[in-house]
Amino acid sequence: MKDDSSRYLITDKEAYGDVSKNIDLNEDGVEELLVMPVEVCGNIIRGASGNGPIYIYQERGDTWVNIGETIGNQLRVTYKKTNNYYDIETNYHMSAVSGIIYSYKFNLTGDNGSYQQVSEEDYDDSENISK
């Protein structure tokens, strides 16, 4: 709630101390909203490595609908598409040289759909560090 007792809108960045980005994920001329919340109600919700939830919202009429929830500390929109939506990858940081890459594709369900995790790949680059 705002100081004047009105509610924040999802696009009000000061509502939850987020890192957010608008991007048109399906090239329909309307940008979706990617939200990486940093804090909620004054409490930091991301771990020391920066990992945490990343939400994807789509404006439908006069409301915002959650069309995906990913996890990690970085999000990358790829050039590949599934069901006319760009595929997404996130990085889940484990250490300076290791982590997990999660891949997400848009899955249609009825007239709607959402991003679903389709794979995860561990990586460890510790052998590539010069000694």
pLDDT of residue 1: 47
In 3D, which of 60, 63, 61, 111 has the Cα closest to residue 83? 111
89-115 pLDDT, tens digit per residue, is 999 988 888 999 999 999 998 778 999
pLDDT of residue 122: 95
pLDDT bin (cut points 50, 70, 90) of residue 79 is: very high
Q: For residues 55 and 58, what is the distance between their CA atoms, to the nearest angstrom?
A: 10
Q: With 60 as the cut, is the pLDDT of residue 85 above it?
A: yes
Residues in the chain: 131
Q: For residues 37 and 46, what is the distance between their CA atoms, to the nearest angstrom?
A: 8
In 3D, which of 11, 18, 20, 57 has the Cα closest to residue 39? 18
pLDDT of residue 21: 86
- Domains annotated for the chain, with CATH where assigned, are 13-128 (2.40.128)
Is residue 28 exposed (0-12), middle (13-18) or buried (19+ Cβ within 10 Å)?
exposed
Q: 28 is written with which tokens?
A: 């329909």
17-66 pLDDT, tens digit per residue, is 567 888 999 999 999 999 887 766 666 666 667 788 899 999 988 888 99
Q: For residues 116 and 100, what is the distance between their CA atoms, to the nearest angstrom?
A: 16
What SS3 class is residue 127?
Answer: helix
Q: Which of the two residues, 38 and 10, has the higher pLDDT score? A: 38
